[in-house]
Structure 1
Amino acid sequence: MKAKRVTGGKVRYGIVAGGSISQGQFMPGVRNTKNSELTVLVTGDPEKADVLKEEFGLKNTYHYDDFDKLLTADEVDALYVATPNHLHTPYVVPALKAGIHVLLEKPMAVREEDCRAMIAAAQESGAKLMVAYRLHFEPATVAAVEQVRAGDVGDVRAFTSTFSQFLRPDNHRAKNGFDDGPVYDMGVYPINACRQFFGAEPIEVRAVASRNPEAGLGDLDDTVSVTLRFPNDGQAVFIASYGMHEFEHYSVVGSKGSLSVQPAYSYGHGLAYDVTIGDEKEHKSYPETDQFGGEAEYFSNCILNDLDPEPDGEEGWCDVRIVEAIRRALETGQPQTLEPYTRKGRIEPSQVMGLPPAQKFEMVNASDPSKNGD
């Protein structure tokens, strides 16, 4: 099956899973673009199907059990897949093989072999596969990466980060062990960020886990600390947690200066960073942008103009192979060695998207996964 060719000027999107990220962010984001439109929703919730169909003017809705029918219905050009992490592959691989382009929420998968299966399916049909690293299109993040890349802070020696929240015990992320745990759900943010700032892939992984009984998450390592060693002996150290107060931050320290970002990974507000070069300090702030609409507009542009997206399957796999090494480090209590690897592409300044914030609406049968969202 050959990849979908779009000639109507707008890419038709189907949404697979109508959870909080789809309803609250991506669907309003698509409505905020000039080159994309929503046509289909796949959900197991009849109320979501009815309300969202009316709200967004969808042409059709499907139950998960009827996903195969969608693949042959010619109602979408691309799918946005936002199922739980361990359920990505059953929807992504058939869609790519059917020639439908896929924008996949991170993490790409929970096994490296699943990543490879997705990459192979995309190569087979020519359909485009992009992993939804929305910060690759956010102005403050890209500016920080560019400033470090330009050598302003000197040789990068260290990256440190904490990303935490109190997860609701009834959320699906608390029920599937490591596959939906804090490293895959939150740890991919500092993993992806440090790879950009070092401009390289790590060669060694160490990890330690702990559990906070007050978090109420049962048999789940709710807090994990990780150390990554890079080829130039730079180190990245981060903590990902479901058992601590909501917090997000990262710092990059080099031989000439440092850069610090807080908040670092979230949306719904503008991001900013502080940079120190020698004795000079500067605060740089950027306006809020629609991060989800921005990634949709970028991906649609790639589809319409037959361009390869930057955060592609290789980018997603680079993070997953690190998370899988973290899993092995926790299971064995031993450091894990990664084979040296060179990533073919990196973030470029031209990827910055400046869409204004999208208009939101009241979500249907969906809520913030964090206790802090009460």
Structure 2
Amino acid sequence: MAELRIGVVGIGQRAPLAVPANRPGTARVVSCADPDPYALATARELFGPEAALHRDHRDMLADSLDAVFVLTPDFVHTEPVRFFLAAGVAVFVEKPLAITVADCDAVLAEAARTGTRLYVGHNLRHLPVLRRMRALIEQGAIGTVRSVWCRHFVGHGGDFYFKDWHAERARTTGLLLQKGAHDLDAMHWLASGYSRTVVALGGLTVYGDNPHRREGAATAAGRRMPDWFDADAWPPAALRDLNPVIDVEDLSMMLSRLDNGVFTSYQQCHYTPDYWRNYTVIGDEGRLENFGDGLSGEEATVKVWNKRRSGYRPDADLTVTFPADPPEPGNAEHPGSGADTEEGVAAEDGDGGHGGADAALVAEFLRFAAQGGPTETSPVAAREAVAAGVAATASLRAGGVPVPVEPPDPEIVRYFAAHQAR
């Protein structure tokens, strides 16, 4: 097949995600768009001198694109996604799909109406640790899943989410959606169900009291997160140059009941000293849990307790290890520990960002854009994650009242099941 001609809309923090799409003989980034001159200069660095540069994404159609990455800030996803779907250009849109359920539904409806391929970048579905946890669940290692818990320690939350547009409700709805959509989708995936009733509590407990706000515009024009990230700033009160507007919560706790009877619990804190995700899945015949998630290249393990009752046993009944430095593809051997041990799993398609998940994500999108077929990620599931985050945010801001999560249009669900369900 001829090389796919790829476009990139939004040259911000996630733009490097599209770099692996430059695969000679398979795909090539030929066009980029961003209204910010600083961003266009960055596009030159990332994608080379031959890529066409535009201030308006609508001008990119002149470059005869086959597929496009929409990597804009979340609150401006919807218009370019719908524009390219209507033009018949396959779309990769970064998660979360949108910041409102109405916008998610409009995007899904456009994809169904036009028949254009839509892919949402929920990279955690390609994270080796989570993939192995799901495989163990499917193999019956813990019986029938009854509950999924996730604790997200967002150790760099101050730098990542409180120094630019992420800090504003008008641009995110809230971090239970913007940041939480990643984990909500992962929990839905592990539980094989979707949230239908949620309750939540939380608040702006630390960063709201920090007086060291940036003066001037409410967005950091001409700058990207690496320009202001300071890993040595501790405690959180030591952070400087925060966004002028901060009205999202930095601590959130959410409970949900899924449509298949599974119960979930999600906690998110943006000022812990450590940064990782801990998932615990409890079945009626065992429990599994990860220690470390491999997202930053560190060693991680998944432990399963399923053979007998006891006090805490750090050795567990099964331990799966993931090496800190993934082995070369085709050589995934790495010794584990515990009563029974499986070999560690290297990231698919090499290591890359997010523990190899980003590279696998891009590879799947390129295959999907060229050939169609089933995908690990799901536009319907992406919409369900946003809907759960929206409902949880409403519950939190109403003092913890239960809020129902409305399911998507059954016709839309059937469309994607017929065209994209794995």
What TM-score does the superposition give when structure 1 sets the normalisation length? Answer: 0.80
Structure 1 CA distance for aligned equivalents of residues 99 and 125 of structure 2: 21
> What amino acid is the match of 2:258?
F
Distance 1:178 1:42, change over 3 A: closer
1:173 aligns with 2:185: no
Whether 2:59 is the aligned partner of 1:69: answer yes
In structure 1, C-alpha distance between the alignment counterparts of 2:183 and 2:46, rounded to whole Å: 35
Report matched runs for 1:82-121 at 5 Å: 82-121=71-110
Q: 1:188 aligns with which of 181, 188, 194?
A: 181
**Distance of 2:98 and 2:187 partners within structure 1:** 20
Which of 3, 6, 16 is 1:13 aligned to?
6
Matched, 1:325 2:378: no
Taking a change above 3 Å as real, the CA distance of residues 142 and 98 of structure 1, as seen in their structure-2 partners, is same
Shift of 1:277: 2.0
Q: Secondary structure of the residue that 2:112 maps to in structure 1? A: helix
Matches within 5 A, 1:120-199: 120-163=109-152, 164-165=154-155, 166-168=157-159, 169-177=162-170, 179=172, 181-199=174-192
Residue 51 of structure 2 is aligned to residue 59 of structure 1: yes
User: % of aligned pairs identical?
Assistant: 21
For 1:102, the aligned partner's letter is V
Distance 1:62 1:320 in 2: 30
Change (3 A) 1:91 1:232: closer
SS of the residue corresponding to residue 295 of structure 2 reads coil
Once the two structures are TM-superposed, the CA of residue 242 in structure 1 deviates from its matched residue by 2.7
Question: Whole-Å Cα distance in 2 between the matches of residues 263 and 21 of structure 1?
Answer: 23
The structure 1 residue matched to 2:302, chosen from 265, 273, 291, is: 273
Residue 191 of structure 1 aligns to which amino acid in structure 2? L
Where do 4+ consecutive residues of structure 1 move more than 6 Å? 340-346
Matched, 1:235 2:263: yes
The answer to whether the 8 A contact 1:276-1:282 is kept is no
Distance 2:378 2:207 in 1: 39
Quote the offset at 1:313 in angstroms. 2.2
**1:111, distance to aligned residue in structure 2 (A):** 1.3
Q: Which amino acid aligns with 2:405?
A: L
Q: Residue 219 of structure 1 is aligned with which of 237, 247, 251?
A: 247
CA distance, structure 2, for counterparts of residue 56 and residue 16 of structure 1: 13
Q: 2:278 aligns with which of 249, 259, 262?
A: 249
Residues in 2 aligned to 1:304 and 1:94: alpha-carbon distance in whole angstroms: 19
The 5-angstrom pairing of residues 349-368 of structure 1 reads: none
Q: Which residue of 2 aligns with 1:336?
A: 403
The SS at the match of 2:19 is helix
- The more displaced of 308-317 and 130-139 is 308-317
Shift of residue 323 of structure 1? 1.3
Measured on the aligned residues, the alpha-carbon RMSD in Å equals 2.8
Report the Cα distance in structure 1 between the residues aligned to 2:277 and 2:24, rounded to whole angstroms: 28
Is the 8 Å Cα contact of residues 175 and 250 (structure 2) preserved in structure 1?
A: yes
Query: Are the aligned partners of 1:135 and 1:265 in contact in 2 as well (CA < 8 Å)?
Result: no
1-structure distance, mates of 2:298, 2:22: 19
Q: Which of the numbers 287, 302, 316 marks the counterpart of 2:346?
A: 287
Deviations along 1:88-128, one digit per CA (max 9) or x if unpaired, are 11211111111111101111011112112111222222211
Is 1:312 equivalent to 2:378 in the alignment?
A: yes
Deviates more, 1:182-191 or 1:216-225: 216-225
Partner of 2:27: 36
Q: Conserved in 2, the CA contact under 8 Å of 1:104 and 1:131?
A: yes
Q: Which structure 2 residue ranges, 5 or more long, are not aligned? A: 211-241, 309-316, 323-344
The aligned counterpart of 1:206 is 199
State which drifts further: 124-133 or 332-341: 332-341
Please give the alpha-carbon distance, in whole angstroms, between the structure 1 residues aligned to 2:256 and 2:24: 38
SS in 2 for 1:324: helix
Structure number with greater CO (CA < 8 Å, separation at least 6) is 1
1:53 alignment partner AA: R
Residue 45 of structure 1 pairs with residue 74 of structure 2: no
> 1:271, 1:287 within 8 Å by CA — same for their partners in 2?
no
Shift of the 177–59 alpha-carbon distance from structure 1 to 2, 3 Å rule, reads closer
Can you give the 5+ residue segments of structure 1 that lack an aligned partner in the other structure?
A: 1-6, 352-374
Structure 2 CA distance for aligned equivalents of residues 48 and 190 of structure 1: 29
State the TM-score, normalizing by the size of structure 2.
0.72
* SS at structure 2 position matched to 1:264: coil
Distance of aligned partners of 1:135 and 1:219 in 2 relative to their CA distance in 1, 3 Å threshold: closer
For the structure 1 residues 137 and 247, does the alpha-carbon distance in structure 2 shift closer, same or farther, using more than 3 Å as the test? closer
SS of the residue 1:203 aligns to: strand
Q: Mark the CA change 1:227 to 1:265 in structure 2 (over 3 Å): closer, same or farther.
A: farther
Deviations 1:208-260 (A, max 9, x none): 01222356374322111100113454321111233333332111111221111
Structure with greater Cα Rg: 2
Count of matched residue pairs = 336
Partner of 1:369: none
Amino acid corresponding to residue 196 of structure 2 in structure 1:
I
